[in-house]
A and B are shown apart, each in its own frame.
Chain A
Amino acid sequence: MKNQPIFVQSKRKYLFLADQKGLTILNPIIEQAIINNDSFEVVFLGKQKEFLHTDIAHWLSQQKMGTYLYVCLPWKELHPIKLKIEEVGFSEEEYQWFGHGDKSKNVFCCRCHEITEVANGEVEINCQYCHLLLEVSDHYSALRHAYLGYVAKL
């Protein structure tokens, strides 16, 4: 994850996938592509996101080698999109991603194995499914894409 989008030179085509706020963040890069006379495509992610996900996966899978992708979305929408991007075959050298807004956190319940989304900074939460009181640990599981939640009161 980079903090600032960086323009990567000499790609045959640039793709931008963003919501309203994301577009303003990516704007300097889009302008650079325009100045260079590079070909590019912008996909605006509006409100009906659920509906759009399959379309986006399809659009991504139609891209050719030599394409470079920039994604900028609210933090909590980023993860599922990133999964699609990587599944389609974009490598780390072929796209940059940025989150904006509140960074939320996924917490994995040690009892029922469900995931609860909480705001960043919370230390104790109730599992949304089994309501167990969980302590949010620093232990991130790449497998679950979540922080492990431990029993808060033994």
Chain B
Amino acid sequence: MKEHTIPVFIKSIEKLTPQVKQFTLSPINMTKLPPFSGGSHIITYIAGENGFITRAYSLTNLPDQTDSYQIAIRLSENSNGGSKYWHESIKMGDFLKISYPKNHFPLSFKAKHHVFYAAGIGITPFLSMMAELRERKTTFELHYASKSEDLCSFYSLIKENFADETTFYFSNRHNKLSNETLLDHRIGTHVYFCGPESFISSFRNEAERLGYPKSSIHFEHFAVSFSKNNKAFQVKLTTGSSISVSKDQTLLEALLINGINAPYSCRVGRCGTCEVKVIEGEIEHNDTFLTEDQKNGHECMLTCVSRAKSEKLVIQLN
């Protein structure tokens, strides 16, 4: 399966905070890029040592600004190529390919009021969502936690555009964002969480404990599979081939590099397109698509984010 991509070049690079850079991507052979809805992301394809490094990033520009796209990337301490490459090697004028915008974190059309909870770089999907709601004249609020004002990406943009809707929480001022604010949302509210895994699970659990219906709770975590604890593993396909997945690679990347026609779409563990059958081995599931029962069964896995717990896996592509 070959995905349609769009060739773009780096039009500008801006340092938002000591750790976050914003990249503006402009189209090469078209004047406009495809329009997108609030919460969309793209996949970037960067040529690396062993094939392409593919990463998902939220679009942070306004949905109706389509002469270029913007993405914001935080340099992660345990980066294995993705954010490190973006921060250290990419220059203005460089060419790369990106996917068409995908949206697996859309706004609810039923909500009477939207509340966004962001921690750190988790702010990125909310910028386009807030712009879309402003346009639709729907009410919303943002609760945004960061270490300090200096480390707070998009601080001035948010102050300028969404001051009335936003509460900032800076931990260096001992102002901590607590999940107790979930107590105050009026009926008809939908909540959206984006940030580190622990942040998301704390808010999700509390919302569920209070009795929020599942369909009113939305969340997104990128980069979940790129932790420094990742280990390399071996995969055998039922067709006979054997593939090694390095600690810096996803299983999907390894399959594709080895010329295997593995299916995929979102690459962030939400759509289920990349599901394969597991014949042998235990799985560390990192997706938000499979049910708990499916995860515990160890009979299927999503190759874009999940990895082997054991040293060896045997899988079958459908």
Instruction: Report B13-38 residues with CB < 8 Å from chain A CB.
Output: none
B136 at the interface (CB under 8 A from A): no
Contacts of B134 in A (CB 8 A): none
* Contacts known (A65-B182, A65-B216, A89-B112); A94 close to B187, Cβ less than 8 A: yes
B110 at the interface (CB under 8 A from A): yes
B184 at the interface (CB under 8 A from A): yes
A141 at the interface (CB under 8 A from B): no
Report the stretch among A43-51, A56-64, A105-113, A130-138 that lies at the interface: A56-64
Instruction: Report A41-91 residues with CB < 8 Å from chain B CB.
Output: 60-68, 88-91
Instruction: Report B208-228 residues with CB < 8 Å from chain A CB.
Output: 209-216
**Which label, helix, strand, loop or mixed, suits the secondary structure of the B interface?**
mixed
Question: CB-CB contacts of A1-28 with B at 8 A, as 1s and 0s?
Answer: 0000000001111000000000000000
Q: Smallest Cβ distance from A38 to chain B, in angstroms? A: 10
* One of A68, A89, A91 near B211 (C-beta < 8 A): A68
* Contacts known (A10-B209, A65-B210, A66-B210); A91 close to B215, Cβ less than 8 A: yes
B215 touching A12, Cβ below 8 Å? no
CA distance A67 to B185 in the complex (A): 11
B213 touching A88, Cβ below 8 Å? no
A89 touching B212, Cβ below 8 Å? no
B189 at the interface (CB under 8 A from A): yes
A102 at the interface (CB under 8 A from B): no
Contacts of B191 in A (CB 8 A): 65
Contacts of A11 in B (CB 8 A): 210-211
Contacts of A89 in B (CB 8 A): 111-113, 186-189
CA distance A131 to B152 in the complex (A): 69
Q: Smallest Cβ distance from A45 to chain B, in angstroms? A: 19
CB-based nearest B residue for A63: B187
CB-based nearest B residue for A8: B211
Contacts of A93 in B (CB 8 A): 213-216
Question: CB-CB contacts of B190-234 with A at 8 A, as 1s and 0s?
Answer: 010000000000000001011111111000000000000000000
Q: Smallest Cβ distance from A60 to chain B, in angstroms? A: 7
CB-based nearest A residue for B111: A89
Please report the total number of A residues contacting B with Cβ < 8 Å: 19
B211 touching A61, Cβ below 8 Å? no
* Contacts known (A64-B184, A65-B182); A94 close to B213, Cβ less than 8 A: yes
* Contacts known (A89-B187, A89-B188, A90-B187); A65 close to B212, Cβ less than 8 A: yes
Q: Smallest Cβ distance from A130 to chain B, in angstroms? A: 38
Contacts of A91 in B (CB 8 A): 110, 188, 213, 215-216
Contacts of B183 in A (CB 8 A): 64, 66
CB-based nearest B residue for A10: B211
CA distance A13 to B187 in the complex (A): 12
CA distance A91 to B188 in the complex (A): 7
CB-based nearest A residue for B208: A10
B212 touching A66, Cβ below 8 Å? yes
28 pairs from A and B in contact (CB 8 Å cutoff) = A10-B209, A11-B210, A11-B211, A13-B211, A61-B186, A62-B186, A64-B183, A64-B186, A64-B187, A65-B182, A65-B187, A65-B189, A65-B191, A65-B207, A65-B210, A65-B216, A66-B207, A66-B211, A67-B187, A67-B211, A88-B187, A89-B113, A89-B186, A90-B188, A91-B110, A91-B188, A91-B213, A94-B187
Top 8 nearest A-B pairs (CB, nearest first) are A89-B188, A11-B211, A66-B211, A66-B210, A93-B213, A89-B112, A63-B187, A65-B185
New A-B contacts (9) at CB < 8 Å, excluding given A11-B211, A63-B187: A60-B187, A64-B183, A64-B185, A65-B186, A65-B212, A67-B187, A89-B189, A91-B215, A93-B216
